């Protein structure tokens, strides 16, 4: 079955990036010159997605505006013959059919996804977390997961190895290797605190494909870690009952929901940027050679 629908949950409070996210949604924070959510929408589109539901909440109108037309700005750029700049914004309202629904109360990722029931209908949906940007790799991450859904016919999670220290803040999955980057997942837990719950050092990072059964499961999933309705708890039922497929996707993932992740994304994506990449590389060489990394207080 062809997967053409994607859900992007973007209704979190973004408290780890305050004060920047007091007014500005974290999904709109720029990585060089594009807001994070644009990378995510582009990945979905490059994976064959035609319809996207973005889950928002109060104050996230910037996201809707970003994927809308900007008639005044566009006509000024046209008048001034700034065609490159015009091209950089004029396609944004045509990338996909983008729909929006509000999560009125911030009750967790699982609760946010439950708002997509009507949108999904009887179709499987791709889920791309609004604060996980994935770039590079052999194919867009969502495409790698969609291909695995086509091959194995079960819900799919995108996984990556993390450190033992990190895993307590992430999810943890029990997996058996099938072949190459494909695993069978039979259990998972959100934020494992006890040693015996650390099944592996693989975590679900930002991407999954959910079959329509997930919505009934979500409706009966009680609040879990952080007293939030956790998507991992609902997917656990799928993993235990019917099994899920896990794909170690090939791209590089940046968590733009925390300050360090934003810095890494900005530097690494900036280094390859067609307009400023070379100048930025030169700047970084000079900066590292200046000894500033050993004495950052020199800049204070």
Kindly list the residues in this chain that would bind ligand UTP in the complex (CB under 6 A).
9-16, 55, 103, 106-109, 111-112, 129-131, 257
Q: Which is nearer to ligand UTP, 131 or 144 (CB)?
A: 131
Q: Which is nearer to ligand UTP, 62 or 152 (CB)?
A: 62
Q: Which is nearer to ligand UTP, 16 or 281 (CB)?
A: 16
Q: Residue 119 is encoded by which pair of tokens?
A: 């949108």
Smallest gap from residue 290 Cβ to ligand UTP (A): 34
C-alpha to C-alpha distance for 185 and 25, rounded to whole angstroms:
33
Please give the backbone phi and psi of residue 134, each rounded to the nearest 5 degrees, phi first: -120, 125
Calculate helix-pair angle for 71-79, 83-90, nearest 10 degrees. 160
Q: Which residues pair with 184 in a beta bridge?
A: 176, 245
Q: Which is nearer to ligand UTP, 9 or 251 (CB)?
A: 9
Whether residue 99 contacts residue 64, with contact meaning beta carbons closer than 8 Å, is answered with: no
Smallest gap from residue 105 Cβ to ligand UTP (A): 8
Please give the backbone phi and psi of residue 62, each rounded to the nearest 5 degrees, phi first: -55, -35
Q: Which is nearer to ligand UTP, 144 or 255 (CB)?
A: 255
Smallest gap from residue 56 Cβ to ligand UTP (A): 8
Q: Which is nearer to ligand UTP, 124 or 257 (CB)?
A: 257
Q: What distance lies between CA 196 and its chain's CA centroid?
A: 29
Smallest gap from residue 21 Cβ to ligand UTP (A): 8
C-alpha to C-alpha distance for 96 and 262, rounded to whole angstroms:
26
Shortest-Cβ-distance residue relative to ligand UTP:
12
Whether residue 128 contacts residue 40, with contact meaning beta carbons closer than 8 Å, is answered with: yes
Smallest gap from residue 157 Cβ to ligand UTP (A): 14
Smallest gap from residue 150 Cβ to ligand UTP (A): 26
Smallest gap from residue 237 Cβ to ligand UTP (A): 19
Please give the backbone phi and psi of residue 20, each rounded to the nearest 5 degrees, phi first: -55, -30
Three-state SS for 14?
A: coil
The contacts of residue 143 (CB under 8 Å, 6+ apart) are 46, 47, 48
Q: Which is nearer to ligand UTP, 35 or 108 (CB)?
A: 108
Please give the backbone phi and psi of residue 284, each rounded to the nearest 5 degrees, phi first: -65, -40
């Amino acid at each position: 079955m062809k997967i053409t629908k994607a859900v992007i949950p973007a209704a979190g409070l973004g408290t780890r990036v305050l004060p920047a996210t007091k007014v500005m949604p974290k999904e709109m924070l720029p990585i060089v010159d594009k807001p994070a959510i644009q990378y995510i929408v582009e990945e979905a589109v490059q994976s064959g997605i035609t319809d996207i539901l973005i889950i928002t909440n109060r104050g996230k109108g910037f996201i809707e505006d970003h994927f809308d037309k900007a008639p005044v700005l566009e006509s000024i750029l046209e008048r001034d013959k700034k065609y490159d700049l015009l091209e950089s914004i004029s396609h944004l309202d045509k990338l996909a059919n983008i729909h929006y629904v509000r999560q009125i109360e911030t009750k967790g990722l699982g609760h946010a996804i439950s708002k997509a029931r009507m949108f999904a209908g009887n179709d499987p949906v791709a889920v791309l977390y609004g604060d996980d940007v994935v770039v590079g790799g052999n194919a867009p991450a969502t495409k790698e997961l969609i291909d695995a859904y086509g091959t194995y016919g079960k819900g799919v999670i995108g996984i990556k190895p993390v450190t033992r220290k990190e895993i307590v803040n992430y999810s943890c999955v029990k997996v058996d290797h099938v072949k190459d980057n494909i695993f069978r997942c039979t259990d998972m837990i959100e934020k494992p605190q006890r040693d015996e719950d650390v099944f592996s050092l693989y975590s679900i990072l930002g991407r999954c494909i959910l079959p329509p059964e997930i919505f009934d499961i979500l409706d009966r999933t009680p609040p879990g870690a952080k007293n939030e309705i956790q998507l991992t708890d609902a997917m656990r039922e799928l993993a235990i009952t019917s099994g899920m497929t896990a794909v170690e996707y090939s791209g590089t993932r940046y968590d733009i929901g925390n300050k360090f992740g934003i810095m890494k994304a900005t530097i690494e994506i900036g280094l390859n940027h067609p307009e400023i990449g070379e100048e930025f590389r030169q700047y970084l060489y000079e900066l590292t050679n200046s000894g500033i990394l050993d004495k950052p207080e020199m800049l204070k």
